[in-house]
Chain A
Amino acid sequence: TQLLEQSPQFLSIQEGENLTVYCNSSSVFSSLQWYRQEPGEGPVLLVTVVTGGEVKKLKRLTFQFGDARKDSSLHITAAQPGDTGLYLCAGYPTQGGSEKLVFGKGTKLTVNP
Chain B
Amino acid sequence: GEDVEQSLFLSVREGDSSVINCTYTDSSSTYLYWYKQEPGAGLQLLTYIFSNMDMKQDQRLTVLLNKKDKHLSLRIADTQTGDSAIYFCAESPMNRDDKIIFGKGTRLHILP
Are A and B interaction partners?
Answer: no
B-side residues, CB < 8 A to A, are none
A-side residues, CB < 8 A to B, are none
